[in-house]
Homo-oligomer: A and B are copies of this chain.
Amino acid sequence: MSQFWSPAVRALTPYVPGEQPRERLIKLNTNENPYPPSPAIEQVLQAFAVGHLRRYPDPESLALREALAKTHGVEPEQVFVGNGSDEVLALAFQAFFCQPKPLLMPAISYSFYPVYCKLYDIHYRTVALDDRWQIALKAFDADNGGVVFANPNAPTGHGHPRQAVAQLLERIIESVVLVDEAYVDFGGESVVPLIADYPNLLVAGTLSKGRSLAGLRVGYAIGSRELIEGLERVKNSFNSYPIDMLASEVAIASLEDESHFKACCEQVIATRERTRQQLEAMAFEVLPSQTNFLFVRHPRHSGASLFSGLRERGILVRHFNKDGLSDFLRISIGTDDEMGSLVEALQAIL
């Protein structure tokens, strides 16, 4: 606490990201991709003209927005970019959810959402998951100041099909519905094609997961021109140039290499399904996943004890010490070798 802080800052509860350990561990705790990004990036860095860095980048990041538009079959004016999807989400909360009515979100979803609400003084209400740990889209009341959820959801892993989101959008027409597709590349169904029909739909995405670029910090949002313009108004009142020149060129090279991206995602999916079977054979309950992680619990071992047992064996997973979630572990999908080590370690613990 400090007398110099703005009063609201004293009340903040900042987000706590997963640990980035300095020791050598098998790191299955922050849903990073186990495979490297496109090899084309190496050539980008070799060929980059360092002298250009003395200039400001394009404040509108047009080249990157064009590449994203092409990838997603939309127009550049329907694309917004930011310093990671966390920044994009924050700006969207400020642009759309500071409303008299409360924002609705699932009771269990990305834990940064309530943090943004505190930062921007947004009133929100949570909607319980259904009894299969899935987002209860039908329980979202039409009378709200906005809706946000991750699809597929984190840390549970379930994704709703596009049609289910379209049904929600038939009911909720007066506020913005923000669908966070950070994990969509591992088997989810993107709702980007719905933006043509629903001007209140905003879809957030990232290059961190499917494209193995967590270290680069490039995220985006896709929606109607009026939503993108709202985001730009906030962004241009905050920071004119969020995307640096290197990040833009590296991201574009990644977007142009569709085959490397698809092959890595398919490999992660195959490893996930094999790991799921192995864990089920050990009596774990494994929630269905369309992501690059599994959310699991064991009938006879607590989440905390399994977490510690794995950590002692050099394997880091994520354990959420929260009501309703503390029985579970969230395990990111690594390489086949890493998941083999995980399964062996769990067998030893059990």
A-side interface residues toward B, CB under 8 Å?
2-9, 12-18, 20, 27, 30, 32-37, 39, 41-42, 45-46, 48, 50-59, 83-84, 86-87, 90, 94-99, 115-116, 118-119, 174-176, 199-200, 208, 212-217, 226-227, 229-230, 232-247, 250
Is B30's CB under 8 angstroms from A53's CB?
no
User: Inside 8 A of A8's CB, which chain B residues have their CB?
Assistant: 98
Q: Given that A41-B50, A230-B5 are known contacts, is A56 also in contact with B20, CB under 8 Å in the complex?
A: yes
Minimum CB distance partner of A219 in chain B: B239
Minimum CB distance partner of A254 in chain B: B53
Q: Given that A53-B215, A239-B90, A250-B246 are known contacts, is A98 also in contact with B7, CB under 8 Å in the complex?
A: yes
Which of A30, A199, A230 neighbours the largest number of chain B CB atoms within 10 Å of its CB?
A: A230
8 Å CB contact of A237 from B30, B36, B97, B115: B115
Is A15's CB under 8 angstroms from B236's CB?
yes
Is A216's CB under 8 angstroms from B238's CB?
no
Nearest chain B CB to A263's CB is how many angstroms away?
A: 14
8 nearest A-B pairs in the assembled complex, by CB-CB distance: A14-B236, A6-B98, A36-B51, A215-B245, A54-B212, A53-B215, A2-B226, A217-B244
User: Inside 8 A of A238's CB, which chain B residues have their CB?
Assistant: 86-87, 90, 116, 119
Nearest chain B CB to A254's CB is how many angstroms away?
A: 9
CA distance A194 to B51 in the complex (A): 34
User: Inside 8 A of A58's CB, which chain B residues have their CB?
Assistant: 20
Is A237's CB under 8 angstroms from B46's CB?
no
CA distance A236 to B12 in the complex (A): 9
Is B200's CB under 8 angstroms from A4's CB?
yes
Is B15's CB under 8 angstroms from A34's CB?
no
CA distance A67 to B135 in the complex (A): 45
Is A215's CB under 8 angstroms from B2's CB?
no
User: Inside 8 A of A30's CB, which chain B residues have their CB?
Assistant: 56
User: Inside 8 A of A235's CB, which chain B residues have their CB?
Assistant: 14
CA distance A56 to B20 in the complex (A): 8
User: Inside 8 A of A212's CB, which chain B residues have their CB?
Assistant: 53-54
User: Inside 8 A of A84's CB, which chain B residues have their CB?
Assistant: 239, 241-242
CA distance A245 to B243 in the complex (A): 13
